[in-house]
Amino acid sequence: MKPTIKRLDQNDTSGLYEIYCYTEVTQNSSQLPFLDTNKLSKLFTSENTYTLIAEWDGMTVGHITFILETKPRIKHCAGIAIAVHPKFHGKGVGKALMEEAINQADNWLNLVRLELEVHADNDIAIGLYEKLGFNLEGRKKLSTFKAGRYIDTLIMARIHPNYG
């Protein structure tokens, strides 16, 4: 079975809240544990975001969000944030979200450059991003405080094949 990917609807934010209740999710994001529903909703419903969600049997099991640039000279770039419900890790949800995000970026949103940051110890995510055409562009030393220690963050990007 594969997840269904669709655009975020206001009714879907409760599913996102459940995903971000798991420490396994927040520890690999830039968010603190125990986000409140208002803050979480604002993260995904602001004017400069475009969010897709993955559903599995009607349950929200993941999201991918484009953080769209508003400055005229960099509107062709977008940052990416992604999270998958821990119970659905290893089931292809992240890959399905990433593939649809790349499709949207290349064919509908007119985006040339997709950027993301990933914790240097998140080997599974790094492997997925590399398989989908993201390249390492840099390392931010000791940039993130996670589980009581500082770790590095990797900067990765994918350039649309017509421009690379």
Residue 32 has pLDDT above 80, yes or no: no
| The predicted structure's pLDDT at residue 5 | 97
Range 4-159: architecture per CATH: 3-Layer(aba) Sandwich (3.40)
Question: What is the value of pTM for the model shown?
Answer: 0.92
pLDDT digits over 93-123, tens only? 999 999 999 999 999 999 999 999 999 999 9
Residues sharing a CB contact under 8 Å with residue 17, sequence separation 6 or more, in sequence order: 35, 37, 40
Query: What is the C-alpha separation between 154 and 33, in angstroms, rounded?
Result: 21
Give domain limits for the chain: 4-159
